[in-house]
Structure 1
Amino acid sequence: MTIIAAADGSALGNPGPAGWAWYVDDSCWRAGGWPHGTNNQGELMAVLDLFRSTAHVPEQDLLILCDSQYVINCITKWMPGWKRKGWRKADGKAVLNVDLLKDIDQAITGRKYTFEWVKGHAGHDLNEAADERARAVAVAYQQGVAPRSGPGFPGASAGVRGELGGRPAGLQSHGAQPQEARPQEAQPQALASLAQGTRQQAPAGDQQSRTGRTSWPHSEPTLFGESGIFGQPDLFSELDEQTSVVPLSAEDTVLALEREMLRPEVRADIGRIGVLLHPDFAEIGSSGRFWTRDAMMMALEEDPGEPTELELLSADRLNEDTILLNYRSLAPAGAALRSSVWMLDRGQWRLRFHQGTSEQ
């Protein structure tokens, strides 16, 4: 028998009130979260708790539906190399979310599992159900009310049902009462940025294997050609906290987001990239290569690029929900002319399309 479950995470502000959930059906699901966490931490915790909740049935295969390429690649591709290097990346920097990853590494020992990537917010029933429950927990922490944890997996031990093991340091267990998020050390995500280290897009149908191993071919530099996409605290968190500040216009908000994406430390945070890139994001790079959202996020993981300045040429409102930015990017490697199309998606501006042309 194969257990088919979706796992998902949610963070309001990223970092901010965060939730995670896995879902098999309405009678078999579980959710939890923290007052302050990131989307990636939620995604990883959902997978970890699913393995722990099914530890009493190790003979059953697990098919995990996941919309996070970060999670899939961490578990099926990068972890063996990180372990050999003492949980450090190729650049020598410490792996982010390492406590969760170490717990997952222990939990998957001896288990038969397969990850299958599904597109988020695309109407997939199980993915939508997990997403709704993860977001509901994040909202509960935001509002200071008790979150719903769900019935859990039949036969799971009381310890699994009652506590949240393996949570990132400083984060509160889902079983405790929500409390106001307190200042703590920032916890950036381990993923990538739009930069000059590149990866080739995976061909359709090759994005996941049935053996629990997912492979992605490598290639040359990325299209955006500069720095990164994620920062902490992120733009939205700053705006939420500064309630006395006059709200930015849509054009100024989009321009601020574009500048944020040109910062290496932001581009190196895949959780933030996942917030800023539209689910249907595409890019045509200055090299002529076409990039999808997933291929771009994978390429940015290893090289967030260099610091880049932005010289705005124009900001045009194409319609109520779409803004076109034209600008010149100025980086040590050279200048380029760039165009970005930003779309309003469920109340948040997200980058839908980007194109760059190098200036000779």
Structure 2
Amino acid sequence: MASSLDVTIIAAADGSALGNPGPAGWAWYIDESRWRCGGWTRGTNNQGELAAVLDLLRQTAHSPEPLHILCDSQYVINSVTKWMVGWKRKGWKKADGKPVLNVEVMKALDEAMTGREVTFEWVKGHAGHELNEKADVLANGAAKAHASRREPEAGPGFPGAQAVGAGDDPAVPPAADGGTGSAGARRSSGSADTTTTTKPAVTSEPDLFSMDSDAAASHPAAEELVVDLERALLTDAVRRDRRKLTRLLDVRWRQVDPAGRTWTRRELGDADVSPGGVELEVVETRRLADDVVLLLWRASGPRGASSVHSSIWQRTGDDWKQIYQQGTREG
């Protein structure tokens, strides 16, 4: 007779954001009696996806069964199974030396995985997969609830679990006891001590300028990568390096700056102009096609001047390049 240890918990985890960023929700689903959801008034798709996986890990922390997570986010799967090892080795920094996005949640995920037998499987979103569809509906419903300034029904959770939720701030997960903080839940002393396994077990690190083809095809991952690349263009290290500019700007690139001047890639490289400490605030990201992302963002200068920009990024092969940008002064 099979023991309870032979049973694997199979759950789908998903996230949703209306506007990305905007009212956001997260959810995981096992069956009608075991599911949970939540969200915030402002968050991103990726934060929702990460929160769903973290809450699932913490809710099932006391259970000795292996956990198999179905996820339609390559960003989440790659973060946990490919990139996290390199991030930790570099002190939670990316390949370009910048801090990892959503770092507190990443740290909490890393701790929540300790001593667990956890595997991940990518499933295509909105393709009729029953568990994924259930999680998607719950996450989207939670986002819509927060858009209406009300709390969604949290759900029954996992039997015997502590209701830790995902916290008020999507960037800072709660402590395992339900308070705020980044400490992950450890397994109870009576649970089996198993070794964490993830599939695929690859340790390659993400590149600032490109991603593997599977990750690049993921909607949220591509959007977040584009934001990183846009920020890179505002650094002296990139603007004054013609090789890096060539990797980020398409040969057809044109820019209409806030003063109304038109720039080509060659002109920008020859000008050797410093961005001068410009800060980028994301207004909206929008997928125009499978390989095209529109990024709307606000630039704030050190002297208080601000402008609104629209940037169009296009993927060719594994590389994302900006093909057009226009800026308009505010005020």
Instruction: Classify the TM-score, shorter chain.
Output: 0.5 to 0.7
Q: Which residue of 2 aligns with 1:265?
A: 230
Deviation, 1:116, is 0.2
Give the SS at the match of 1:105: helix
**Whole-angstrom distance in 2 between the partners of 1:332 and 1:262:** 23
Partner of 1:306: 248
Computed over aligned residues only, the root mean square deviation of the Cα atoms, in angstroms, reads 4.2
Could you say which residue in structure 2 is the equivalent of 1:96? 101
Q: How many aligned residue pairs are there? A: 224
Separation (CA, whole Å) in 1 of partners of 2:174 and 2:9: 29
Q: Residues 351 and 53 (structure 1 numbering): CA distance in 2 closer, same or farther, change over 3 Å?
A: same
C-alpha deviation, 1:84, in angstroms: 1.2
Is the 2:81–2:203 Cα contact (8 Å) retained in structure 1? no
Counterpart in the other structure of 2:146: 141
Residues 215-274 of structure 1: per-residue CA shift (max 9 Å, x gap) = 3989997899xxx96489xxxxxxxxxxxxxxxxxxxxxxxxxxxx79932899xxxxxx
Cα separation, partners in 2 of 1:304 and 1:22, compared to 1, 3 Å: farther
Q: TM-score, normalised by structure 2?
A: 0.57
* Alignment partners' CA distance in 1, 2:290 and 2:167: 37
The aligned counterpart of 1:11 is 17
Query: SS of the counterpart of 1:31?
Result: strand
Query: 2:70, 2:123 within 8 Å by CA — same for their partners in 1?
Result: yes
- Residues 24 and 42 in structure 2, CA contact (< 8 A), matched pair in contact too: yes
Query: Structure 1 residue 306: deviation in Å?
Result: 2.3
Q: Residues of 1 paired with 2:316 and 2:224: CA distance?
A: 23
* 1:146, distance to aligned residue in structure 2 (A): 2.3
Question: 2:81, 2:200 within 8 Å by CA — same for their partners in 1?
Answer: yes
Is 1:351 paired with 2:293? no
> Of the candidates 31, 44, 47, which is equivalent to residue 41 of structure 1?
47
Change (3 A) 1:211 1:170: closer
Partner of 2:170: 168
SS at match of 1:24: strand
CA distance in 2 between counterparts of 1:311 and 1:152 reads 51
SS in 2 for 1:115: strand
Amino acid in structure 2 at the alignment position of 1:41: Q
Secondary structure of 1:5's match?
strand
> Which structure has the larger Rg over C-alpha atoms?
2
In the alignment, which residue of structure 2 is the partner of 1:212? 199
Distance 1:7 1:305 in 2: 35
Do 1:229 and 1:265's aligned partners in 2 also have CA atoms closer than 8 Å? no
**How big is the shift at 1:91?**
1.0
CA contact (8 A) 2:104 2:172 kept: no
Letter in 2 for 1:120: G
For the Cα contact (< 8 Å) 1:7–1:23, is it kept in 2?
yes
Equivalent residue letter for 2:142: V
Change (3 A) 1:116 1:333: farther
Distance in 2 between residues matched to 1:262 and 1:165, nearest whole Å: 25
For the 8 Å contact 2:11–2:69, the answer to whether it is kept is: yes
Are 1:8 and 1:43, in contact at CA under 8 Å, matched by a contact in 2?
Answer: yes
